[in-house]
Chains A and B, each alone.
Chain A
Amino acid sequence: MSENNTHISSYGSHIFVLMCLITLTFITVAITSVQLGAFNTTAAMLIASTKAAIVLLYFMHLKFDDKIFRFMVTLVLAIYAVVIVITFFDYLYR
């Protein structure tokens, strides 16, 4: 946090990130309004994950902070992913 390694995101970059997020929201609404069956869910979840990654990296500053934060977040998300996989293995092959 010393003066020489603090990254200051500009106002412009925040606005740009915001525009990306709003565009992705529009795309999700557009995609899910078309009946594509199971593809709808996949597409909506992929876009939501992309938006979440953008928020984590830029708004929550993970891209510029100490690596330890990125490492911890990745670890927690990985554990969560494992829990999802195990739960669905249970329901699908019971």
Chain B
Amino acid sequence: MEHNATIHATHDHYDPIASKLGMWLFIFTEILLFGALFIVYSVYRYRHPVEFHLANQELNVTIGFINTVILLISSATVAMSITAMQKGDKKMTIIFLVITLLLAFVFLVNKYFEWGAKIHHGIYPGSEFLLSLSHGDILFFGLYFFMTGLHAVHIIVGMALLIWVLVRVKQDRINKDKYAFLENGGLYWHLVDLIWIFLFPLFYLIH
């Protein structure tokens, strides 16, 4: 740590390890938030196996699969933007960040069409059609809309965060010697990917 202090003597109050530690603490709260929802899902699934099985087949596996791949690629590009920054390649850092943002946008567009199709078929929280179905169906679609919706909110927050990172990279306020902010933005983005890794099989695949 003493060695660090001399390297970063010019940057007052810059401590990459500590800021990363703070980011991880925040990520833990997010893991527990979604973790609680996954437990709610598991318990209701255990209590209503037949309804969950049938409702599950309403979801479009292809769109879910495409969105999974999109998020995985965007996670890789954010990781590569950090590699580029560590090599001092500002241009590639920006390119990778822009690709990540574009992929995030495509994810949201897919989500828009997916939800749009459901709503078009009269399946949305509180809809007359949904309320006429069994208790298990209502729970399944309630959880589906809430959990994928909360995840989509995280995508939007992640995009805002990455745009902030992008601006700071352009201003050289994030640079080769001082890129903890970029790393933390990347950590948040990976978290969003991590959550989707579990949402996809639970809602789209298992039956």
- Interface residues in chain A, defined as those with a beta carbon under 8 Å from any beta carbon in chain B: 1-3, 6, 8-11, 14-15, 17-18, 21-22, 25, 28-29, 32, 40-41, 44-45, 47-48, 51-52, 55-56, 58-61, 65-66, 68-69, 72-73, 76-77, 80, 83-84, 87-88, 91
Contact = CB atoms under 8 A, between A and B. Distances in A.
Contacts of A60: 186-187, 190
Interface in B22-47: 24, 28, 31-32, 35, 39, 42-43, 46-47
Contact of B72 (A9, A21, A73): A21
B207 A32 contact: yes
A60 B186 CA distance: 8
A6 to B, nearest CB: 7
B17 A25 contact: no
B76 A2 contact: no
Dominant secondary structure at the B interface: helix
B24 A72 contact: yes
Contact of A1 (B4, B194, B197): B4
A51 B197 contact: yes
B207 A91 contact: no
Contacts of B183: 61
A40 to B, nearest CB: 6
Interface residues of B, number: 47
A58 B76 CA distance: 10
Contact of A48 (B20, B24, B31, B201): B201
Interface string B77-94: 011101100110000000
A1 B17 contact: yes
A59 B72 CA distance: 10
A1 B76 contact: no
Contact of B201 (A44, A76, A83): A44
Contact of A91 (B3, B4, B46, B68): B46
B205 interface: yes
Given A44-B201, A76-B32, 11 more contacts: A2-B4, A9-B82, A14-B83, A18-B72, A25-B200, A40-B206, A48-B200, A55-B197, A59-B79, A73-B24, A91-B43
A72 B21 CA distance: 9
B193 interface: yes
Contact of B197 (A8, A52, A69): A52
Contacts of A40: 205-207
Contacts of A59: 75-76, 78-79, 186, 190, 193
